[in-house]
Amino acid sequence: MNEFTKRRWYDEDPTLSFAVGLLEKADKSIQTECAEIIIQKAHDFNIYIPENRLEDSFNYILKRWYDEDKVISDSFEYLKIMSFDLQKEISLELIEKLG
């Protein structure tokens, strides 16, 4: 990969990247179930994301596969702000579930 290739935030860790790849290929119901696991784990560690305001809904543009569903999108926001260790823990849990 050269310096001009844009990397996604979750590609920084191979375990997290692998877990996200498995999640992307999973059925929608499994994606939602995994998203709920991520959100619950975040709440267990007192991690919260700010709620979107109403006007944000009108300016919302779908750019990524996980933006198509609010619960899944929110779970990625939680995952993004978690500590590396917690990201790794959840990644391994998702890999076990999806593998």
Per-residue pLDDT tens digits for 1-52: 445 556 899 999 999 999 999 999 999 999 999 999 999 999 999 999 987 6
CB 72 within 8 A of CB 37: no
In this model, does residue 88 exceed pLDDT 80?
yes
E strands, the chain, are: none
Instruction: Please give the residue range of the domain that contains residue 82.
Output: 28-55+62-98
Classify 82 as helix, strand or coil.
coil
> Does 46 map to a domain?
yes
> Does 6 map to a domain?
no
For 92, counting Cβ atoms within 10 Å of its Cβ (0-12 exposed, 13-18 middle, 19+ buried), the class is: middle
> Does 11 map to a domain?
no
> Does 20 map to a domain?
no
pLDDT band at 62 (very low <50, low <70, confident <90, very high): low
> Does 18 map to a domain?
no
> Does 23 map to a domain?
no
> Does 76 map to a domain?
yes
In this model, does residue 55 exceed pLDDT 60?
no
> Does 16 map to a domain?
no
Report field, pTM of the whole predicted structure over 0.85 = no
pLDDT for position 98: 97
CA–CA distance, 96 with 34 (Å, rounded to integer): 11
- Domains contained in the chain, number: 1
